[in-house]
């Protein structure tokens, strides 16, 4: 077919839009995402064919001999008109919008040089929804592209929101308009990541952290999750997936944090605890397969959608909470300044996890505040610290050592690989390296592998994306699949693609996983158990208390006693 | 007045229907036929049975004017206000009906769930204009006086039923 005079070969493109992109032309879109179903709602991608018909290219199948014009006077005029109509009912207070500068509507309005809107704003300004700990929903900024609806339904299989009512009354809503916090929303934040405007945004807790840092009476510690280091740098001109942990630590020190730690350290604890729990469950064969428990959106998903699965979920706290328990024990039991703990996470659901009753000790949450990677970017910018002038620094004692097994926790398959390193019969470097090739790495939504440990063949599955998790649970129930161990991360691709990370196209996110594997190569110790700090902790602070401090019984676990020592 | 919600009965309705997600409209219609509205309680079982989210069901229910989330009266009176009925004076019928039933404009259903009154755009019976229906029984060529007689008759019927 012909696009703007160029002949383009039709291969397997699902629509004319993809072909146009192949021809080197990027049409503006709001509602089109290659990983989601085709909606055809925003109409921005209209093109003209040789008969003068205007067609939305996303909803048109490519046919032999088609002649398409993407940039005629008529198309430009219509596209501009459509954009103006989209802007008509949009709250245009860009300067106070969290997504300002990161908004496709703003970007297009600028590139179309729109300086006035001819149409009246007839929006009904329904109420904002601030009920969720993770995200806020502002219907005044919504352009009804439906991206959030489709990612929630199709990718995450959560189905918390959908279009409601019709015509000028249409808006995105939970059933009966209940607040998000009371809906089946799990807080994964993927809707916010995909929203082209600022209609769904991640909750911002920066000011609370500034207050804690300003307060002379507080001792503020911070932990940084593995996935943060391979995404934050993108905002400061580093390449996709480049590891910036040294700069992050330096920036956090400059911001005034008293001690900076790396969540990788406590991920080593998680590997050890989870491996032990797995071996014990394997021996006594109760509640198998074992599901991982690091991902808070996954925990929410189990509680709200598959409560019957909860006994299968490991009782291990997430690495963030394991660290928080240890730090609370270290710093809150001694007289002195009030200890405040902050966690920098790639994740929106961690904000919910931090507030859970299970993780509150003596009225104070073990993690006082969770900031996303994007919020840390904002803090650095607010402070005026020049990224280029930072000198990389290391994390602080006494919790400074971590292994390669822990660093890869942030990518799908990483937790599994870390546990396999722990359980492997052969601890030699070659054998450990080989584990990279057993099928746990890569961006696929479902990865399966079999590995022999202690003469027993184990079936393992790694899923990312809650839709994939739900399909797997259904298969387990019907007996189609059988596993011993299942790793689940709610966000497709794992934590590196979390909704708290800077938003970049899907194709750029794969590099983040690679960045973590490179970070693993840089570490000297590959197995969590070989981390010398672990021995110190188990003989000291954790002695006889590892169960109390490192495990958790969610309400769904009740009635099932735990076998992990 | 048959408004007490019976979960077992609902379960039977849901079970008797197709589980194909594309059948959701006809399932909802069956439910509405039974209860004269879509009770909130059906959302969860329906969602589990059909494999679609409650949000999607809510989306369908709120999209179509014909579905109601509010309980309807024992008698649902639909006054046609399509072009044909309108020019043949359907509005005086509506006014009389509201007056007889003491239903102010904007209120659809009596608090005691005895009557609901709504207007519809066309019942497809223009030859019988002006027309109204009571629980799908058609009353043709209505006048305000005929409306008064009808309401009296329905009220009597209602009184007999409750005794």
pLDDT digits (tens, 9 = 90+) for A171-204: 999 999 999 999 999 999 999 999 999 999 999 9
Report helix, strand or coil for A323: helix
Q: Which residues of A touch B54 (CB under 8 A)?
A: 159, 175, 184
Q: CA-to-CA distance for B58 and A175, rounded, in angstroms?
A: 5
Longest dimension (CA), chain A: 81
Q: Are B79 and B93 in contact (CB under 8 A)?
A: yes
Q: Over the stretch A6-49, which tens digit does the pLDDT of each residue have?
A: 999 999 888 999 999 989 999 999 999 888 899 988 999 999 99
Q: With an 8 Å Cβ cutoff, is B63 touching chain A?
A: yes
What SS3 string covers B30-70?
HHHHHHCCCCHHHHHHHHHHHCCCHHHHHHHHHHCCCCCCC
Three-class DSSP category at A3: strand
Q: Which tokens belong to A169?
A: 């009354």
All domains in chain A, ordered by first residue:
2-87 (3.10.20.740), 119-200 (3.30.70.20), 207-557 (3.40.50.1780)
Q: Give the Å distances, CA to CA, from A287 to A283, A301, A548, A560.
A: 11, 18, 21, 9
Give the residue on A whose Cα is nearest the Cα of B62.
Answer: A165
| β A67-69/A135-137 pair status | unpaired
Q: Which of A227, A234, A237 is nearest to A493 (CA)?
A: A227
SS (H, E, C) B83-152: HHHHHCCCHHHHHHHHHHHCCCCCCCECCCCCEEEEEECCCCCHHHCCCEEECCEEECCCCHHHHHHHHH
Q: Which helix (H) or strand (E) holds B17?
A: none
pLDDT at B19 over 80: no
Q: What is the average pLDDT across A244-270?
A: 95
State whether residue B14 sits within 8 Å of chain A by CB. no
SS3 A31: coil
> CB–CB of B54 and A159 under 8 A?
yes
Please state whether the peptide bond connecting residue A155 to the residue before it is cis, i.e. omega within 30 degrees of 0.
Answer: no
Work out the pLDDT band at A564, boundaries 50, 70, 90.
very low
Query: CA angle at residue A25 from A21 to A29, to 5 degrees?
Result: 70
Q: Nearest-CA distance from B73 to chain A in Å?
A: 21
Interchain proximity B55–A166, CB inside 8 Å: no
Q: Do A164 and B58 touch (CB under 8 A)?
A: yes
CA–CA separation, A490 and A497 (whole Å): 10
Give, for A223, the enclosing helix (H) or strand (E): strand A218-224
Q: Give the ranges where A385-540 is alpha helix by DSSP (H).
A: 404-407, 414-423, 429-434, 466-478, 506-522, 532-539
A386, pLDDT greater than 90: yes
Q: In the predicted model, what is the mean pLDDT of residues A197-218?
A: 94
Out of A159, A165, A166, the one facing B55 most closely (by C-beta) is: A159
Residue A447 vs residues A190, A464, A472, A536, B145: alpha-carbon distances, Å:
21, 9, 11, 35, 74
Asked if the Cβ–Cβ distance from A164 to B40 is below 8 Å, we say: no
- Determine the Cα–Cα distance for residues A281 and A289; give it in Å rounded to an integer: 9
* Tens-digit pLDDT profile for residues A313-359: 999 999 999 999 999 999 988 888 899 999 999 999 999 999 999 99
Interval A392-442: pLDDT, tens? 999 998 999 999 999 999 999 999 999 999 888 888 888 888 888 888 888
CA-based nearest residue in chain A for residue B55: A175
Q: Which residue of A has its CA nearest to B39?
A: A176
pTM: 0.89
Sheet holding A485-489, edge to edge: A290-291, A485-489, A456-464, A446-453
- Give the C-alpha distances (Å, rounded to integers) separating A564 from A252, A257, A268, A316, A459: 36, 35, 16, 9, 21
Helix (H, G, I), strand (E, B) or coil at A99: coil
Task: Of A175, A96, A187, give the one whose Cα is nearest residue A135.
Answer: A187
Instruction: For residue A371, give the 3-state DSSP assignment.
Output: strand
pLDDT at B5: 62
Q: Could you give the ipTM of this predicted complex?
A: 0.86
Rg (C-alpha) for chain B, rounded Å, is 17
pLDDT > 90 in chain B, percent: 48
- C-beta atoms of B57 and A165 within 8 A: no
Distance from CA of B72 to the nearest CA of A (A): 18
Structure token pair of residue A426: 């052969």
Q: Which two tokens stand for residue A8?
A: 């383009």
- Which residue ranges form the domains of chain B, and what is each CATH number? 7-63 (no CATH), 75-162 (3.40.30.10)
Cβ of B32: how many Cβ atoms within 10 Å?
Answer: 18
């Amino acid at each position: 077919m012909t696009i703007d005079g160029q002949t383009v070969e039709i291969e397997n493109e699902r629509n004319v839009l993809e072909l146009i992109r192949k021809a080197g032309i990027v049409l503006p879109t709001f509602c089109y995402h290659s990983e989601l179903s085709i909606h055809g709602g925003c109409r921005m991608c209209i093109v003209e064919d040789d008969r003068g018909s205007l067609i939305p290219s996303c909803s048109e199948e490519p046919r032999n001999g088609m002649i398409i014009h993407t940039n005629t006077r008529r198309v430009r005029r219509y596209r501009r008109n459509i954009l103006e109509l989209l802007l008509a009912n949009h709250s245009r207070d860009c300067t106070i919008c969290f997504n300002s500068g990161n908004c496709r509507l703003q970007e297009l309005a600028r590139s179309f040089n729109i300086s006035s809107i001819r149409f009246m704003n007839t929006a009904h300004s329904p109420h904002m929804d601030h009920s969720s700990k993770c995200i806020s929903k502002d219907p005044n900024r919504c352009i009804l592209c439906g991206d959030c609806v489709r990612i929630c339904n199709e990718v995450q299989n959560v189905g918390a929101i959908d279009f409601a009512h019709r015509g000028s009354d249409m808006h995105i809503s939970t059933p009966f308009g209940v607040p998000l916090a009371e809906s089946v929303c799990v807080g994964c934040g993927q809707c916010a990541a995909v929203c082209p405007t600022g209609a769904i945004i991640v909750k911002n807790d920066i000011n609370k952290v500034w207050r804690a840092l300003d307060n002379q009476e507080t001792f503020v510690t911070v932990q940084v999750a593995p996935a943060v280091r391979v995404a934050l740098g993108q905002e400061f001109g580093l390449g996709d997936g480049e590891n910036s942990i040294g700069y992050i630590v330096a920036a956090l020190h400059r911001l005034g944090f008293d001690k900076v730690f790396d969540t990788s350290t406590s991920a080593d604890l998680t590997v050890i605890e989870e491996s032990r729990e797995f071996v014990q469950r394997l021996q006594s064969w109760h509640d198998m397969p074992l599901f991982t428990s690091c991902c808070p959106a996954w925990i929410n998903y189990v509680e709200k959608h598959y409560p019957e699965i909860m006994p299968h979920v490991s009782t291990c706290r997430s690495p963030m909470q394991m660290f928080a328990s240890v730090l609370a024990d270290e710093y809150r039991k001694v007289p002195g300044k009030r200890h405040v703990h902050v966690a920098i996470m790639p994740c929106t659901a961690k904000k919910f996890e931090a507030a859970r009753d299970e993780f509150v000790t003596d009225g104070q949450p073990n993690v006082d505040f969770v900031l996303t990677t994007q919020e840390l970017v904002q803090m650095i910018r607010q402070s005026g610290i020049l990224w280029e002038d930072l000198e990389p620094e290391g994390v602080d004692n006494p919790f400074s050592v971590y292994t390669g097994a822990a660093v890869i926790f942030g990518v799908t398959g990483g937790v599994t690989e870390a546990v396999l390193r722990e359980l492997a019969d052969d601890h030699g470097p070659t054998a450990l390296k080989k584990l990279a090739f057993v099928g746990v790495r890569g961006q696929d939504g479902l990865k399966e592998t079999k590995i022999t440990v202690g003469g027993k063949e184990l079936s393992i599955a790694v899923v990312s994306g809650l839709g994939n998790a739900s399909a797997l649970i259904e298969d387990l129930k019907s007996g189609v699949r059988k596993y011993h161990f299942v790793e689940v991360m709610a966000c497709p691709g794992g934590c590196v693609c979390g909704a708290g990370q800077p938003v970049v196209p899907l194709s750029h996110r794969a590099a983040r996983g690679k960045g973590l594997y490179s970070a693993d190569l840089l570490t000297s110790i590959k197995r969590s158990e070989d981390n010398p700090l672990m021995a110190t902790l188990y003989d000291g602070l954790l002695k006889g208390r590892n169960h109390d401090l490192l495990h958790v019984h969610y309400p769904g676990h009740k009635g099932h006693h735990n076998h992990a020592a | 007045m048959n408004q007490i919600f019976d979960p077992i009965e609902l379960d039977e309705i849901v079970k008797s229907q197709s589980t194909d997600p594309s059948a959701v409209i006809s399932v909802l219609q069956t439910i509405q036929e039974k209860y004269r509205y879509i009770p909130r309680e059906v959302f969860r079982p329906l969602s589990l049975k059909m494999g679609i989210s409650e949000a999607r069901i809510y989306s369908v229910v709120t999209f179509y004017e014909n579905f109601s989330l509010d309980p309807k009266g024992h008698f649902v009176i639909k006054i046609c206000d399509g072009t044909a009925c309108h020019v043949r004076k359907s509005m005086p019928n509506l006014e009389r009906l509201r007056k007889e039933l003491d239903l102010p404009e904007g209120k659809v259903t009596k608090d005691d769930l005895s009557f609901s009154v709504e207007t519809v755009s066309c019942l497809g019976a223009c030859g019988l204009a002006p027309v109204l229906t009571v629980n799908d029984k058609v009353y043709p060529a209505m006048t305000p006086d005929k409306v008064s007689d009808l309401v009296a008759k329905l009220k009597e019927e209602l009184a007999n039923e409750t005794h």
